[in-house]
Amino acid sequence: MQVTETLSEGLKREFKISVPASDLDAKAGAKLVDLKDKVRINGFRPGKVPVTHLKKVYGRSVMAETIDQTIRDTNTQLFSERGFRLATEPKITMPTEQAEVEELLNGKTDLTYTVAIEVVPSIALADFKTFEVEKPVAEVTDADVDEAIKRIADSNRGYAAKGEGAKAESGDRVTVAFKGTINGEAFEGGAGEGIQVVIGSNTFIPGFEQLIGIAANETRTLKVAFPKNYMNDKLAGQPAEFETTATLIEAPQDLAIDDEFAKTLGLESLDKLKEAARERLVAEFATATRQRVKRALLDRLDEAHRFEAPPSLVDEEFNLMWNSVKAEMESAGKTFADEDTTEDAAKEEYRKIADRRVRLGLVLSEIGEKNKISVTDDEVGRAVIERARSMPGREKEVWDYYRSNAQALAQLRAPIYEDKVVDFILELAKVTEKKVSRDDLYKDDEAEKTAA
């Protein structure tokens, strides 16, 4: 076997490899001998088929298998000897001329091919004991609890019919009947009766809640457009008109927050409701604290590990983000000008984010590998159970989906692995708690999530 490096540029490598025909013939011959005891051919006793006859019948297919196996074995040996960690699958270039292929399959010429790869750079990990991380901690106040209970009450309050001739206002509930058309034609699922719409809830497609000022028995034609990412492909992005008649206008009613209200929620008293609300808020604050600490740690890892990320991985990450961004903007009917930027500037910014994500992913992987951090099947199983519990009535469907979908399981495994690596670093780093208000804890939360 002869190996010649033909390209070494950044993280890209390319090799020309030549394997003598005699080596291929020997390997193919061994396969044919092994095949001798496995095949049944009319006219020959089991195990007595001459190898020469086997070669006539199976020679080309056996040589094709031999070539494929030789390429895999040769590449594995090459990458192992040179200590390469591959960023992507190798790109193999083989002879394509029919005459060359025939000679190769007939064992008359050497196997010559090229393999192009992109490697992961060696990563020098920082000393995590030098890391300093601030941990923001917010205390749940009585006001926070009262606000949470008020939100619960608002979502459970009743509605009462408004007087004759009353018109709908924001927050009112309007019961409607409607018939939808696209280009004058009715469509499946476009009609309904007794449908309740709370104005301002944004639970219907954009534009459908244009009902402020409508009165009972009044009919309006609502002109709307289905979102471009609508679940029904036939309706996605389509403009539609809904002939809508209001049959009832109701106003939200005040709801007393007392023991009786708590009992409607299955709790013994208002005090018990407050306890439950406080426990939930404590958990929510803890989650927010965790996210803030994690983002701060990722920022520190980003600063401490500057290296060239494999371009193909950055391109792949960028394309995923960019396609998602464009789809969301099209769905919302926005342009880059609406965001005070240009497409080129946005692309540059998202490419930086893609580069950061790839580098951090490689760093976390390196830390986990060097410190033997892994995710057990039990941990993944618990994650599947939690996901199933979050979808009552569809538990079996969720369980079957993950059991038969390796990629979906990998998507559950990845964040568990990341969290375990983060916890490992935090055990070494110097973490200092800082008391903050609830507002400070959630300050710029969405912007920070995007950056992270």
Encode pLDDT of 73-115 as tens digits: 999 999 999 999 999 999 999 988 999 999 999 888 999 999 9
Lookup: tokens for 14: 């390319």
Give the pLDDT score at 48: 65
DSSP state of 86: B
Under the banding of pLDDT at 50, 70 and 90, the label for residue 451 is: very low
One-letter-per-residue 3-state SS of 316-360: HHHHHHHHHHHHHHHHHCCCCHHHCCCHHHHHHHHHHHHHHHHHH
Gyration radius from the chain CA atoms: 32
Task: Concatenate the DSSP letters of all residues of 361-395 into one string.
Answer: HHHHHHHHHHTT----HHHHHHHHHHHHHTSTT-H
Q: Compute φ and ψ for 258, nearest 5 degrees.
A: -145, -170
Do residues 328 and 228 make contact, with C-beta atoms less than 8 angstroms apart? no
**CB neighbourhood size of 55 (10 A):** 17
Residue pair 443/449 in contact by the 8 Å Cβ criterion: no
Q: Give kind and range of the element (H or E) at residue 220.
A: strand 219-225
149 burial (CB, 10 Å; 0-12 / 13-18 / 19+) is buried
CA atoms within 13 A on the CB side of 413: 14
Collapse the DSSP code of 77 into the 3-class scheme (helix H, G, I; strand E, B; otherwise coil) and give the result. helix
Q: What is the pLDDT of residues 372-391, one digit of tens each?
A: 999 999 999 999 999 988 88
What is the Cα–Cα distance from 116 to 88, expressed in whole angstroms? 10
Percent of residues, the chain, with pLDDT higher than 70? 96
pLDDT in tens, 315-359: 999 999 999 998 888 877 788 888 889 999 999 999 999 999 999
Of 114, 76, 108, nearest in space to 95 by CA: 114
Distance of CA 356 to the CA centre of its chain: 17
Q: Would the CA dihedral through 254, 260, 264, 269 be positive or negative? A: positive
Q: 50 versus 307: which is more confidently predicted? A: 307
User: What is the average pLDDT score of the chain?
Assistant: 90
Is the pLDDT score of 420 beyond 90? yes
Which pLDDT score is estimated for 452?
A: 40
Of 38 and 243, which is predicted with more confidence? Answer: 243
If phi > 0 it is left, if psi is from -120 to 50 it is alpha, else beta; for residue 141 that is beta
Chain segment 4-51, per-residue pLDDT in tens? 999 999 999 999 999 999 999 999 888 888 777 667 676 676 666 777
CB atoms within 10 A of CB 42: 4
Predicted confidence (pLDDT) per residue in 115-143, tens digit: 999 999 999 999 999 999 999 999 999 99
pTM: 0.73
Least confident of 29-43, 54-68, 237-251: 29-43
Query: What is the four-CA torsion angle of 50, 52, 54, 59, rounded to 10 degrees?
Result: 160
DSSP, res 119: B
CA dist 154 → 146, 150, 268 (Å): 12, 6, 20
pLDDT of amino acid 36:
72
32 CB burial (10 A radius; 0-12, 13-18, 19+): buried
Strand stretches in 142-262, DSSP E: 159-161, 173-182, 185-198, 219-225, 239-252
pLDDT for residue 330? 80
- Give the span between the Cα atoms of 417 and 427, in whole angstroms: 16
**Residue range 275-292: mean pLDDT, rounded:** 96
Residue 230 has pLDDT above 90, yes or no: no
Between 28 and 368, residue with greater pLDDT: 368
Edge-first strand order for the sheet with 12-19 is 2-9, 12-19, 111-118, 91-93
Task: Delineate the domains of the chain, giving CATH numbers in brackets.
Answer: 2-118 (3.30.70.1050), 158-252 (3.10.50.40), 261-451 (1.10.3120.10)
Confidence of residue 194 (pLDDT cuts 50, 70, 90): very high
Report the alpha-carbon distance of residue 312 to residue 120 in Å, rounded. Answer: 11
Residue 48's closest CA among 56, 40, 60? 40
- Tell me which amino acid residue 398 is: V
Mean pLDDT of the 49-59 span: 76
Of the chain, the percentage scoring pLDDT greater than 90 comes to 65
Question: Measured between alpha carbons, how far is 251 from 255 in angstroms, rounded to an integer?
Answer: 12
Q: Show Cβ contacts of residue 72 under 8 Å, excluding neighbours closer than 6 positions.
A: none
Give the model's pLDDT for residue 450.
Answer: 47
Element housing 226 (H / E): none
Instruction: List beta partners, residue 13.
Output: 8, 117
SS3 148: helix
C-alpha separations of 396 from 108, 130, 236, 303, 389 in Å:
57, 47, 30, 44, 10
